[in-house]
A = this chain, B = another copy of it.
Amino acid sequence: MNRGDIVDKPCLTCQYNMTILNKIKNEMPDEETINKLSEVFKIFGDSTRIRILWALFDKEMCVYDIAEALSMTQSAISHQLRSLKQARLIKSRRDGKNTFYSLDDDHVKRIIEQVLIHIEE
């Protein structure tokens, strides 16, 4: 890369050149990973789901009780639990009539806490 190589500099006044831009392109995670990332964040991006996850911070709960704790219908909760489970943020365990849900792992709690710290600054 030579100095003054204008052709390779898309932005005439910025300090970066095509080589650096290509480096960014190449080091970026592949499309699938990026999509997975954004999908997970999307699932977090709903106040009902955040509240459900929060309710599960300490212990597993059944659908009915989550609905009760959040003052919402069982149907609405069930839908959200499905999303959360598909995104593998929670796991479920059947016990007779009831299905108990709990956080999939500690990351989930940590991620929410990180963002909480961020917004509190």
Binding site for B on A (CB under 8 A): 10-11, 13-14, 16, 21, 24-25, 28-29, 31, 33-47, 49-51, 54-55, 61-62, 64-65, 68-71, 96-98, 105, 107-108, 110-112, 114-119, 121
- Beta-carbon nearest neighbor of A55 in chain B: B24
Number of copies: 2
Measured CB to CB, the closest approach of chain B to A12, in angstroms, equals 9
Q: Which of B21, B62, B69 contacts A24 (CB 8 A)?
A: B69
Assembled-state Cα–Cα distance A71/B21 (Å): 10
| Complex A-B: 12 CB contacts under 8 Å | A13-B62, A21-B68, A21-B69, A33-B119, A37-B47, A37-B116, A37-B119, A38-B44, A41-B46, A41-B115, A43-B45, A108-B118
Assembled-state Cα–Cα distance A24/B91 (Å): 20
Q: Which residues of B contact A16 (CB under 8 A)?
A: 61, 65
Cβ A118 vs Cβ B105 within 8 A: yes
